[in-house]
Structure 1
């Protein structure tokens, strides 16, 4: 410091406002002037300890030092070079904030390149690198990878202490619903976090059966090991109880005391596994009785070949000679090639329509191996369908309402029962205007809010309605098993039931899929079956 006349080597010179560094020859070392407030803790209060970051730190010359400690008793030299002034400053400690992705499968953790000292304000960074993890959502940061430490939310402000901090991405598991279904009834549902196990519900009961567990498709669910990774439906599986009663022993000739077993009260359940065909209602029979052959199931692209007592289809059941002596399941057998019975010409009479060559012959290029090939060609031969200009039929495309209208008007002379309706989306110049007006006047089609929606796809439920109306089909008194996905409250239930009763509505393992679009091939198949019944 200055004493008024002489200068100490490598000391500070200046007034109470600013200071300049000089060497031992009074030559200015640094040209910039430093306000006293940036050098000392409190110059006006006579606190001449150097501030953190003071320009006087490490600016002295060690060769001129002859003391071990400064005025505060701390080591005179810290950090390698002596400080200017009466007090030695401790080296500044810098700290870092590190972000970890913590198991993320995509994106990258943010990087904080700043260096902090104790007391600095830190603002927690966002998930700007787009970290992602399947089955989880980003939920902020935590000081422990397992989430048991201190939480820090995005944008949070805090003052740094005396240590580096590592913040780990915190993940919140997505929740999934697992549903338990027995037959057509939902018996339980649970909300389970991603990759966690579900709780097994109370096993259901069913007369004459043993509960075999909950199944996801063909696989039994293991509640101890299987983890829920998405919305899941489990179905109850049953095995028929084997409770065959003893066959009664007839009395010995001439009477006697032989003991016979009363089986008159034994009732057994016979189930029908249609293997993809239309559903068949179970039958209940007493012991040693014969069954009534059920309605023949129907399956698209197949011919029914009988009922069998084993799933391998090696033991055929004969309704005229076989007896029920246990709970049992009969399995339907199918042949993939459709068998067409030849016409018995000797029974033909002049008034019966004779087989003739198709009036309209179109060889479609995209149906050679399709299951509905024969039916498509039959309906084409009646000049009802024509396909596309490129000689394709596009059998698996959904059919539009306007095309159904055209097919029906080609197939039938429709009777008008109401006035013409002017639809806002069907002008008089529309390609299918006449056909659309005819099906509306016949009461087969309706509009919605003044529109016909000609380009809209027809659903299977809508198809059931228009076919029942077009062919004036009525209930025939049969009571077929209803499809699992057609509840009693469905608007088209009665129409679908009528088609099922006539053996026209086909399903897929007991499902009708009423709200799915009907394909062009499926519609032709329905039309073909009805027309065959009408002949």
Structure 2
């Protein structure tokens, strides 16, 4: 009995030891867990803008961890913020903290690094007061990346921004791709006399102050062109710079450079006529295809051919001749001289449904004499006789006998 109890105790101790090993407990680990705790450090952000320590941003970071919580970039009048330095080189150059890779290993102070800035002022030289001039702040040694839209001045073409003028008064233009700012700078707009091109819509309602105008440098082409104007009952034909002796407009070629004299271009209007396509298939007028064509012009756009049940579409005709036959419109040659209607011409459809057959009777029975199909099997296979069913019944009978015999043998063995 004692031996059995001893065996039970030994087994219990063995199981307990295994459990301890599985869970990772030991006297040493328990003691270490009681004494060890994770180490963390304080990181302080000094904005170096005159604020006191109590207002500085402070965070706690685990040893070996990255700084994920940092303040918004500070502001300082006349300077631009460049980053946070954890130390400085011998020559005073800041060593910036890399928040993507650097990790904390001790209590740390990060100082704001400030770069000197310069103010850049854009003087449009078009009468605008200083308070409305465009101004930007740029880091010393940096490029100007923010500039205003090109200014406007009546009768002049804007050439660019000058930072100084040469001995002959020629402007020295600022190159925004390469030039860098080293001090407070003023840039002056450079203007050159231009040619004013006015577009007169000649529509009887628009007055000169509302004409579309653009200023072009002499020798350049007119590239700023208004949208084509609209006029009731007319089609716009282009812009004329003059008219010949017969009153025919001379259209301006926009690939041609302008001179040094201001000019006006007049809209050319051609009398327009309404062309209506009457499909004569029951469609109401409001749904008819309509278009406007200039006087003497050809009809270049037409609707899809209409459809009418039981009829064939022949074409579009403008009138009937003396015999009452339609005179078809020739879209390649005929010109429009007034408002007009084109009518659809139709011919009755010839269905061609003539019944033919051996007995002359449409719809004859397919099983009538001469049409009876031969049902003889020519596959070469023997016809089904029904023996497959007899084979299946015999199989079931044999299976039953075998099952009964097996049960009887098992019973006798008991």
TM-score range relative to shorter protein:
under 0.3
TM-score (norm 1): 0.20
Computing the radius of gyration from Cα coordinates, the structure with the larger value is 2
Structure having the larger proportion of residues in strand:
2
